[in-house]
Amino acid sequence: GENVEQHPSTLSVQEGDSAVIKCTYSDSASNYFPWYKQELGKRPQLIIDIRSNVGEKKDQRIAVTLNKTAKHFSLHITETQPEDSAVYFCAASFNNNDMRFGAGTRLTVKP
Amino acid sequence: DAMVIQNPRYQVTQFGKPVTLSCSQTLNHNVMYWYQQKSSQAPKLLFHYYDKDFNNEADTPDNFQSRRPNTSFCFLDIRSPGLGDAAMYLCATSADRGPYEQYFGPGTRLTVT
């Protein structure tokens, strides 16, 4: 089955700086890679996702890159704001059949 | 507008006393998932339904069962809760099989005393 590793486990940045979170996956058949933001006590919320037929996707301050050959994908947040502070999870699956999440990254944006 | 609804939001049960958690959706999605999330951990997939087709994860304990009586509702039954089953249980839906977004409900926090 799929195995997803995520780094770093904690990340602290100054407001306005960029944050990068990296994930690797094991199953070359995986074709869907979402990123979720989860605030304390709340549901995971999708912030961006990428499918295996593209290498990069951007939505305002958030971007995701995918390297299928190396089996890794990364989340980039630019111009970070205090409200970006949360736990971020990457995930990977083949057609959502067996979604596997990374262990999470606790991002703290200091004002 | 609530799209994936979970009831109750908080559930307390006694060790060994069966408990049922409920999920409903207004999205008319074909696929419904149940995840277990323990404190400071990632969500872990327990099982999912594609329409009426039940798909169990290999490492999901037999203590956990699920029912989907219709498109809108899905239930998680824990037959004999142990202290280790205390967690947040998240329901999610997606439109169909394939690389589509999963929509999560707010979760039910289960406490076992």
Interval B26-85: pLDDT, tens:
999 999 999 999 999 999 999 999 999 999 999 999 999 999 999 999 999 999 999 999
B90 vs A46: CB contact, 8 Å cut-off?
Answer: no
Please count the helices (runs of H) and the strands (runs of E) in chain B. Answer: 0, 11
- Is residue A70 within 8 A of residue A5, CB to CB? The reply is no
- A43 interfacial to chain B (CB closer than 8 Å): yes
- Alpha-carbon span A17 to A84, nearest angstrom: 12
- Alpha-carbon span A23 to B52, nearest angstrom: 33
- Is residue A43 within 8 A of residue B106, CB to CB? The reply is yes
- Residue A97, pLDDT score: 76
pLDDT band at B94 (very low <50, low <70, confident <90, very high): very high
A101 vs B55: CB contact, 8 Å cut-off?
Answer: no
Place of tokens 């908080």: B10
- Residue B15, pLDDT score: 97
Please count the helices (runs of H) and the strands (runs of E) in chain A. Answer: 0, 11
Q: Is the pLDDT of residue A64 over 90?
A: yes
Both tokens of B15, joined, read 């060790």
* Residue A54: strand pairing partners: none
pLDDT band at B2 (very low <50, low <70, confident <90, very high): low
Mean pLDDT of all residues belonging to chain A: 95
- B102 interfacial to chain A (CB closer than 8 Å): yes
Over residues A8-48, the pLDDT tens digits come to: 999 999 999 999 999 999 999 999 999 999 999 899 999 99
Measured between beta carbons, the chain B residues lying within 8 angstroms of A7 are none
Judging by beta carbons within 10 Å of its beta carbon (0-12, 13-18, 19+), is residue B27 exposed, middle or buried?
middle
- Residue A54, pLDDT score: 87
- Residue A53, pLDDT score: 87
Question: Rounded mean pLDDT of B74-103?
Answer: 95
Distance from the Cα of residue B110 to its chain's centroid: 11
- CA-based nearest residue to B64, from B9, B20, B109: B20
Range 62-91 of A in CB contact (< 8 A) with B: 89
- Residue B1, pLDDT score: 62
Question: Rounded mean pLDDT of A56-84?
Answer: 97
Both tokens of B103, joined, read 């929509």
